[in-house]
Amino acid sequence: MVSIMETLTIKTENKFRTLITKQAYKMGDVMCVMPSENIMDKPNRFTVQIAKDKHTHVGKLAALNHSCDPNVVLDTERMLMIARRDIEKGEELSFFYPATEWEMQAPFICLCGSANCIHVVAGARFLPLSTLENHYLNKHIREMMIELLNGTKVHLKKLQSA
Ligand SMILES: [Zn+2]
């Protein structure tokens, strides 16, 4: 099994942190196990959401930046980081934040330059389904999306019967 994170290194430039891989990967490779020793009920900038009310402190992986065209996926059911495409040695790693985060504590503007850029990164609940369906989404995000849609349906019914 892959040892945790020893192939990953954090680079800091003008206080901006990036996570760099020291080795190449093929699409689908398991790159590391996500840390899960430190779970809390609220998000912060060092956490990744793994269930509706669970956020895990991810250690070095907190240096992963967001991209709308990312090269890694965080699978929060298996707690693994997986290569979304072939990755070269020395490449910066990134993932699509709304794939794990429902509602982020500190939203920001994305300048990734991808043709599919979502621009405002605030969590999955603020994105249209048509955008989300182009991305790998974790189970808790899909479940919360369904919950939100059902809530909207109930609300609409109430409006119609009023
Ligand atoms: Zn973007």
Q: How far is 109 from 94, CA to CA, in rounded Å?
A: 15
Measured in angstroms, how far is the CA atom of residue 106 from the centroid of ligand 1?
A: 16
Measured in angstroms, how far is the CA atom of residue 66 from the centroid of ligand 1?
A: 8
Phi, psi for 48 (deg, rounded to 5): -125, 135
Q: What is the pTM of this model?
A: 0.91
Measured in angstroms, how far is the CA atom of residue 156 from the centroid of ligand 1?
A: 32
**pLDDT under 50 in the chain at which residues?**
1-3
Q: How far is 116 from 33, CA to CA, in rounded Å?
A: 28
**pLDDT attached to residue 4:** 61
Measured in angstroms, how far is the CA atom of residue 7 from the centroid of ligand 1?
A: 26
**pLDDT attached to residue 155:** 80
Q: What is the pLDDT of residues 69-93, one digit of tens each?
A: 999 999 999 999 999 999 999 999 9
